[in-house]
Amino acid sequence: MAPVEKAKGALPGEFTLIEEIFAPLASDAPEAFALKDDAALYRASEGYETVLTVDAIVAGVHFLPDDPPESVARKLLRVNLSDIAAKGATPKGYLLVTAWTDDTCFDWIKRFAAGLAEDQERYGISLWGGDTVRTSGPLTLSLTAIGELPQGTMLLRGGAHPGDDIYVSGTLGDAALGLEVLRTRLGELSREDAVHLVRRYREPEPRCSLGPRLRGVASASLDVSDGVVADLGHLCGQSGTGARIEMDRLPLSDAARRAVEGQPELLQLIVGGGDDYEILFAAPPERARQVAAAAAEASVSVTRIGEVRESGEGVRLVDRAGQPIPLKQLGYRHF
């Protein structure tokens, strides 16, 4: 029978998609059997154990429908690699589930796969398997990342003690501000600053070089996805502690600093906006030098932003004089 003529950009069948688009992403991985079997087969290295995490992203919720497909691919992969890094593990491979809508065209998928291919190279990982389905919408993508680390060394949320220092990698608030740029809700910004903030929203930078260096150094760790105050609350909740962080110590990029100078109410996005994908961790004061060494070796900036306190003190954001800054005043809604 003659093949049915497809409209330009229309989706080919599932098997063609797998063969043309996804199998090349698995070609380096013996675990994946070229995507020709029912399951992947993976054995962690001797003395190591496996860390697994999954995150889904939905068009209109976690990314904008007109975001470039390459960026959507990077965001999907990197939000998962961020969790792997915050647990102290090294990523090895991933599984992918895609639910395409009737609007998804073949070119979009090709560009999406090109974004994955570039990041695979960058992070030394491969596609090991997955599934591809259709949905009435919205476009939904789910990725399971698999990493490994020496047995018994995973960095947990619960493990911080009163007196530990609290640190965060990189800078906070860029992604939340970047989303405001895309929604055209920000005041005047230079083009350069706008581009920087939007890139931080679309393409987080998982701290894969830092996370494994925090094993045996950090007492507790997680990545910042909900906002620094909320995620610190998660860490303290699991550790049975409180915490105090200082507003003035929160690391801001030059672009974020300039945006906040013009509109101080944007500070609420710095502490509560989320999507930062930085590592937030605690470490005893006597390990301060090891923290600094880990940051230097990883070429990632790390800033001390406060300290772990007794649980009765709750999680507080304070000003330079140590006075609590009411989160409500910042428009923060989670409390």
Which residues here bind Mg ion, judged by CB under 5 A?
83, 223
Looking at beta carbons only, is 83 or 205 nearer to Mg ion? 83
Kind plus residue range of the DSSP H or E element containing 32: none
d(CA 131, CA 35): 10
Closest approach of Cβ 326 to Mg ion, in Å? 27
> Closest CB to Mg ion among 54 and 97?
54
Read off the tokens for 137: 């919408």
Among candidate residues 229, 306, 303, the one with its CA nearest the CA of residue 268? 229
Q: Provide the token pair at 141.
A: 């993508």
- Number of helices (H) and strands (E) in the chain: give both, helices first: 9, 10
* Residue 164 or 223 having the CB closest to Mg ion: 223
Supply 22's token pair. Answer: 């996804």
Q: How far is the CB of 118 from Mg ion (least distance, A)?
A: 23
135 touches 58 (CB < 8 A): no
What is the closest distance, in whole angstroms, from the C-beta atom of residue 329 to Mg ion in the complex?
27
Q: Which is nearer to Mg ion, 31 or 83 (CB)?
A: 83
Alpha helix (H) ranges present in 87-190? 106-123, 174-182
Give the nearer residue to Mg ion in terms of CB position, either 63 or 106.
63
Q: How far is it, in rounded angstroms, from Cα 145 to Cα 84? A: 7
The least CB distance from residue 228 to Mg ion, in Å, is 13
Q: How far is the CB of 89 from Mg ion (least distance, A)?
A: 13
